[in-house]
Structures are given as structure tokens and as C-alpha cells.
Amino acid sequence: MPLIELLFATHNTHKLREVSAIIGTRFRLLTLGDVGFDEEIPEPHPTLHENALEKAQVLHRLFPHLNVIAEDTGLEVAALNGAPGVMTARYAGTGLAQDNMRLLLQNLQSSTNRAAQFRTVLALIENKGQTHYFEGIAQGTIRTEPSGAGGFGYDPIFEPKGYRQTFAEMPDTLKNSISHRYKALQQLSDFLQQYSPI
């Protein structure tokens, strides 16, 4: 049986690499480059669900014959009432991971509560038109300073629960077997199995 094709609506090459490593053998992942789409995709909404849906819808309108997936991920810090949340990518205003981490550490300076979680909401719009959501959470704590060179974004300051390494200190294969993104993709994969038993 041919592999199900999924067009992944993201410009983030790190996400693409992770998603490809996690589900690349189970599905045929198409990139925005594959379909010649190079415009910005807006994420103007107050929830991860709405932003993930918006990203998927932009591509679904253009390529209705394809199954489209998009995801929005937020880092939710307990002591900051869930911030930066939907603002995770734009927290410091520069779009640079170093600036975002610096601001987060600054805002947490006087806080002993370091609990945080990454939450990924993945939206699938099938070529039949139905929309489905899948969610994955990775709980952990925020370190007091960055450590590690792997991963991307806030990985150098995020230590997942049960580990003594940050996501950036561990091998990609380990992050990709416990992460928020992995968990959301497992659910997507389980859902799609009905069409393509593995």
C-alpha cells in the first residue's frame, strides 16, 4: 500500500527535521518547498489550536487534494501563569532564541517554582475536508542558565521530567522519543493507521 502523503505547513526547518525523523518512515512528508509555497503563514490567534488550524487552512485552500498538517507549540511556565504560551516564538520581539531565553530567565529570576511544559497542538485537515486535532505535552523545569547545543528554540533551558539533561544536551533520538511533538505525532499516527495499517 502506498504511504499516505502529508503536507507539513511549517517554515521551521528544525520542526521539519524532527517530524521527519519521528514519522518519516510511516508517511511521506511533503514540505512547503515541495509545493513551491514560500509566503509567511500568519499565527494571529490567542490559542495554539486556532493558530495550528489557521496554518493548515492556508495550505488546505491552495492544495485541497492533499492532507495537510500544521502545528503550533508553546512553552507554558507555571510561575508566569502559562506565558509565553502562544507568544513563545515572539517572546522577546526579535524572533531570536537567545533573546527569548534571556528574557524568560530574567522574568523567572526571583522564582523558585521552575515548573514548565511544552505543548504541541497539531491540526490535520484531510483531503476529504475534515479537521482533527492532536496534542502532546512534555513536562519539566526551567534551568537557571542554558546548557547544550542540540535541539532548537528553548531546548537549552528546558529539562524534561525524569531526566538530568536539557533537551539540548540529549541526543536528538532521545528528545524525539519523549517530546511534546513526538506525543502529538504518535496520536496522529494512530489515527491515520485506520487508513494504512502498519
Q: Residues in the site for ligand ITT, rule: CB under 6 A?
A: 10-12, 15, 41, 43, 55, 72-73, 88-89, 97, 118, 151-155, 167, 179, 181
Residue whose CB is less far from ligand ITT, 88 or 117:
88
Nearer to ligand ITT, 63 or 152 (CB): 152
Closest-approach residue to ligand ITT (CB): 153
**Shortest Cβ 156–ligand ITT spacing (Å):** 9
Name residues whose C-beta falls within 8 Å of residue 105's C-beta, 6 or more positions apart in sequence. Answer: 142, 144, 145, 157
Shortest Å distance, C-beta 97 to ligand ITT: 6
Bond before 42 cis per omega within 30 degrees: no
In the complex, minimum distance from the CB of residue 60 to ligand ITT, in angstroms, rounded to a whole number:
15
Other CB atoms within 10 Å distance of the CB of residue 61: 10
Whichever of 58 and 192 has its CB closer to ligand ITT, that residue is: 58
Q: What spatial distance separates the first Cα and last Cα of the chain, rounded to whole Å?
A: 10
Catalytic residue, from 72, 155, 172, 190: name it. Answer: 72
CB closer to ligand ITT, 41 vs 62: 41
Q: Is 72 a catalytic residue?
A: yes
Nearest approach in angstroms of CB 2 to ligand ITT is: 26
Active site residues: 72
